Structure 1
């Protein structure tokens, strides 16, 4: 963190001023040098003069964290936070950058946003004291009347509860938060409304309230169309297509997939195409059982992302190879699969729990009955608390097949 002298020197150099120019006729060059090197403290009159010469308010020089430094820190942190972060260790560098400033931040938007990011990163890095920091951020947002930022804090709290697999509680928290903003006539912008819609629908699906979830999703899609807002349309269509697949409504699935493909072309977003490929491969493996058709889709993406771990495609590759009766190769890919730590929705978890059921089938065919029973039991234990989706029936059928 910069000292007063370092701050003055930095601003002087940024403005291309020499010591003599900044000193002018009020200060000596020597005195200014002492001030910049923290060997002398300026009087308030001298400080006001220096600030005037630099074109800033004297408070900018006196603040423990001046505005320019605060903005630079926030810009750097935002860039880091928007990167692809998955593991707890990925968030530690952001925590380390903000931590020296955390107790000295002035009362302004940049500080509140830094505290919010700091709290989120503390949580994801598995540090215990993230909640008081989030409360400070929320209090600052509320005091500055930044309603949309405050809404983000509320949604984050609900999603933390969701990640603890307390789905009904998370839904109630989200709905209570939304209601509290409406009761005090707080104006939530269109993007924040769509965030609320999407999260509410996801949580309805998590507790098996599909009709309510579909209602909220449709409202979100209709609102997006009416106001020509495409901010959340990818997520809305993606969830609708996945639910249609689970429900066996292939016509509706293809409708939303076609919408997503058009949106992917319009937005030139490669990630949407990858998501659609994964959805199609998953459908072909787990529902249509057309393993030959699934294989080229999977292989294309494995080659495209060969320098990255792509656990979902590893799982689909293993399932396709099992279906093609290539047991040793299937075993290799299934063993490479891991469940991403950030997956918490029953839909995501259930489809990933298929792994151990397939391992059980392979081990049984290879004559390794004890291993088959072990993995069938793992799959059964994992899937039992989940919703009654097609994955649950498959896994329980495998368990009874292996253990009877």
Structure 2
């Protein structure tokens, strides 16, 4: 509306109400105009436009395309690398506040361009991260514009975001249902879905099915994504799909599938010359050796590539997951005191949301209980066995949950 447009331009030019009012308008009248409680005369409108150094048409029309593009450039730079999974982190909160401050003056006077839709989409992300329920209004507006412009991939991202907001509240079944509804709408309202969007939808569907422990749904979505990627000769999200596939095979104790997908992931990492992939493959292989093969003597050399251990202080440094693995490795070589000191220092990252990730870290209390049992401290053993058991109760079946329940029953039967 006109009032918001005047206010937005005034703030953009860093002018106070008094400065814009000058000697021909009162501050009170200008405030009423900006709040749409009074309509300016043509003479006043010409005066305001002159003070703002814009034309009357610019003042009356919606925000110009050039202005929106400039704002989007600024916003994308702030939004780069932004992850809604880190909504509680101080940096994320500060970034959201900056983006909202930048977009808010223009939010009601945008046109129906791609740039405007993208700004509305980013704005909805930031509102969600600040726990403002109005995020849904702006996400819906963005999706409507994307539909008008037939931008299927962009609409898909809005639908995925909508499902993820539910997922982050750990309402996994509801998140899956929302995702499937969004996908159904997209496939029935858009003439054609481009290959990358199709793979992206399959990947997220697999992740949502995995969260509720539906192995069949997960595997079907994974295989669909990989088959389609091969057919279309595209490699979008291939690494993420291989990671998910390897995890799923590990959790289901499917050795052949696990080895196949782990090898594929390793090849992908070697092709990209990315050491993070190689490390991930090693950590997954350690889980395989512990939980499926029972070859405990082979795990320490692998872990020690990524963890530094101070023997005197019995402190391990490195990635959180690798440190956890180090503590488990000490348990299997019967170094229970060392294992305990490391495991008790491991914390569950606050950005985790997927049940599989929770399972990886919740198992630490099972190992702590096992160490205390070996050290004949049954009170502490029962305490941590119970912590692990209660953490795993709402999670789907997995190798971690199985070990947790077996340990709990063994300790409490004594």
Band the TM-score falls in, shorter-chain normalisation: 0.7 to 0.9
Matched, 1:116 2:121: yes
SS at 1:66 equivalent: helix
Distance 1:113 1:336, change over 3 A: farther
TM-score (norm 1): 0.79
Q: Which moved more, 1:216-225 or 1:262-271?
A: 262-271
Partner of 2:70: 69
Partner of 1:95: 96
Distance 1:376 1:307, change over 3 A: closer
Structure 1 position 337, deviation (Å): 1.9
Q: 1:333 aligns with which of 336, 342, 349?
A: 342
Q: 1:383 aligns with which of 382, 386, 392?
A: 392
SS at 1:164 equivalent: coil
1:147–1:186: 8 Å Cα contact kept in structure 2? no
Distance 1:319 1:66, change over 3 A: same
Structure 1 position 194, deviation (Å): 0.9
Matched, 1:290 2:295: yes
1:4–1:61: 8 Å Cα contact kept in structure 2? no
Q: C-alpha separation between the residues in 1 aligned to 2:220 and 2:341?
A: 42
Q: Which runs of 5+ in 1 are unaligned?
A: 8-39, 49-56
Q: C-alpha separation between the residues in 2 aligned to 1:128 and 1:291?
A: 49
Partner of 2:199: 194
Distance 1:6 1:383, change over 3 A: closer
Q: 1:370 aligns with which of 361, 379, 388?
A: 379
Partner of 1:244: 249
SS at 2:304 equivalent: helix
Deviation string, structure 1 residues 167-193 (Cα, Å, up to 9, x no partner): 222222212211111222343222111
Structure 1 position 355, deviation (Å): 0.9
1:88–1:125: 8 Å Cα contact kept in structure 2? no
Structure 1 position 127, deviation (Å): 4.7
1:60–1:66: 8 Å Cα contact kept in structure 2? no
Structure 1 position 395, deviation (Å): 0.9
Q: C-alpha separation between the residues in 2 aligned to 1:183 and 1:333?
A: 53
Partner of 2:284: 279
Matched, 1:258 2:260: no
Q: C-alpha separation between the residues in 1 aligned to 2:188 and 2:316?
A: 50
Structure 1 position 257, deviation (Å): 1.5
Matched, 1:104 2:109: no
Structure 1 position 62, deviation (Å): 9.0
1:80–1:94: 8 Å Cα contact kept in structure 2? no
TM-score (norm 2): 0.77
SS at 1:286 equivalent: helix
1:281–1:294: 8 Å Cα contact kept in structure 2? yes
Distance 1:5 1:180, change over 3 A: closer
Q: 1:206 aligns with which of 192, 195, 211?
A: 211
Structure 1 position 4, deviation (Å): 9.1
Q: Which moved more, 1:363-372 or 1:275-284?
A: 363-372
Partner of 2:353: 344
Q: C-alpha separation between the residues in 1 aligned to 2:206 and 2:274?
A: 24
Q: C-alpha separation between the residues in 1 aligned to 2:226 and 2:237?
A: 9
